[in-house]
Copies of this chain bind each other. A is one copy, B any other.
Amino acid sequence: MKKKAKAVEVNMENLLRIFTVPEAPGSTLSRLENDISANLAGFLQEHIVAEETDLVEIERDFSDTLIPEQPVYVSEQTEFLLDKVVAQSVHTASPSFVGHMTSALPYFMIPLSKIMIALNQNLVKTETSKAFTPLERQVLGMLHRLVYDEPEAFYGQWLHDSYRHLGAFCSGGTVANITALWAARNRAFGPDGDFPGIMKAGMYAAMRHYGCEGAAVLVSERGHYSLAKAADVLGIGRDQIVAVETDDSNRIRPDALEATITRLRQRGIRPFALVGVAGTTETGNIDPLDALADIAAAEGLHFHVDGAWGGPTLFSERYRERLKGIERADSVTIDAHKQLYVPMGVGLVLFRDPAALKSIEHHAQYIIREGSKDLGSATLEGSRPGMAMLVHSALKIIGKRGYAMLIDNGIDLARRFADRIESLEDFELVTEPELNILTYRWCPAAAREALNEGDADSCRRINETLNRITRHLQKTQREHGKAFVSRTRLTPERYHRQAITVFRVVLANPLTTDEVLRDVIDEQRQIIAGMGEHEDVIELNRLLGSPVA
């Protein structure tokens, strides 16, 4: 292997080689590739360094901003990637990585992705995508049907219609949510008499034409931050994403919603969209979608469901009922790189009405021609890769029953883990899993007793100390690199809405077992056991009047 021995000579002939001559079978890169094909889990296990390195230290390897004058050998770059990038990446596929929404991938995704990359199609136009265009439309149709279950004839009529779209592929849930609210905004403030519509005239002219002081979107206080981002991007303003109060299960309160609508209208602000959350990011709870659909219908609001996480629960015979009302949504976001088990970089938004995307349609007179099948006309993004091929393959190879089983498995596992936590003396379940997400914290019996019995002030101090301990525990466990739970802050009613730091566990990796979760708890206990001299533990002992750890 070359070790910066001598530089590659730069001439056109050598340059053409990288476009025409494949990596030799024995090269470092080919070897890595084969290792991944043969044993992905082993490859990741072997190459990713478990113990955490400080980010500042890692940054040293990525601090040179000079693009090298002379090319670097592929083998040299591969060695670099292996040592510095792969080694210092996150083992998202690990069964004990249960802190975020990124999971293991089915094996077939890796070679299929390679085919997709090799074909390098661009979905913006059929001239650069051909079969990928109907393929993408088919996938949108399949997921549209999963959500809306329209009759066969509906799909026969609209699936491949040049002037209609059952949804839009996006790079992720954020763009999907923006697309939904963009379409809703443009529809709510569309052309009217002489007014050419907000698409052409902009937000200011629209507000004046429609006589409003502003436009608002309603969502529970547990809505994803992408919605605030959407409001900023769309010129609505973050303050007009109006956060509606939730109940103790993190679900929007319909009474509070009605009151908010009234209040906004009194101020001359027109609410035009209501977002129901189907799987809150932090706790996996689902808004009462049917009640929201009623309110949206009565108030004339676009009803969007953010099912980025929870959407695929529809596959489950046992749990799909929890999403009841989603079929009444005007639009639904689903992330394929979450519970459809597709690699990072694909979300989508479905629209019940195949004409809904008309309100955002853009044509470049001679590039994305009107009436063509070019998908670029109805997406926020322009050039896009053929990720639809991966979603298509996942839907076929895993199938409805397979997905149902994956969903059920995660929810059941979460239930069992919740039950176990509840049975433990030294841990407290903070939110019950409605889907496959739960939160908990270390909270010994004595602390719970004190919290139940103490006055507001002493409760506050105990919780603040516990919060610091939870943070320390979570960070330490992450640094050890065996397991990863994330952490967030909640404001449960039982603690008078005081902010509580909790561990958050997301159970979507089918390789995660009860035993893996038991080990997570055991490791947390070990860390606590070693914290006897820690100032926060000392403080807790002092507050409780007896040693708890």
Contacts and interface: CB of A to CB of B under 8 A. Distances in A.
A115 B226 contact: no
A384 interface: yes
A381 B345 CA distance: 10
Interface string A111-151: 11111011111100111111111110110011011100000
Given A174-B380, A233-B182, A402-B71, A145 B65 contact: yes
Contacts of A77: 108, 393, 396-397
Interface residues of A, number: 180
A315 to B, nearest CB: 8
Contacts of A88: 130-131
B202 A146 contact: no
A448 interface: no
B90 A129 contact: yes
A155 B109 CA distance: 38
Tell which of A36, A108, A215 has the most Cβ of chain B within 10 Å. Answer: A108
A120 B100 contact: no
Given A10-B402, A30-B37, A399-B70, A63 B233 contact: no
B65 A141 contact: yes
Interface stretch (A234-242, A424-432, A525-533): A234-242
A510 interface: yes
A326 to B, nearest CB: 16
A381 B171 contact: yes
Contacts of A78: 112
A362 B229 CA distance: 7
Nearest to A111: B33
A362 B67 CA distance: 31
A488 interface: yes
Interface stretch (A54-62, A256-264, A285-293, A536-544): A54-62
A204 B201 contact: no
A386 B86 CA distance: 11
A173 interface: yes
A32 B114 CA distance: 10
Report which residue of A171, A213, A224, A384 has the largest number of chain B beta carbons within 10 angstroms of its beta carbon: A171
B237 A205 contact: yes
B398 A15 contact: yes
Given A22-B107, A401-B71, A114 B386 contact: no
A366 B502 CA distance: 11
A476 interface: no
B202 A235 contact: yes
A61 B229 contact: no
A411 to B, nearest CB: 14
22 contacts: A8-B399, A10-B405, A11-B405, A15-B398, A18-B108, A19-B104, A19-B106, A20-B511, A23-B107, A55-B130, A58-B134, A59-B134, A67-B145, A69-B400, A85-B131, A88-B130, A89-B119, A102-B122, A110-B114, A171-B384, A172-B383, A344-B385
Given A70-B399, A172-B384, 15 more contacts: A10-B399, A11-B405, A22-B37, A40-B118, A55-B126, A63-B138, A100-B125, A105-B120, A113-B114, A114-B117, A196-B239, A201-B239, A202-B237, A229-B362, A367-B488
Top 7 nearest A-B pairs (CB, nearest first) are: A235-B235, A202-B237, A88-B131, A203-B235, A225-B364, A203-B203, A174-B382
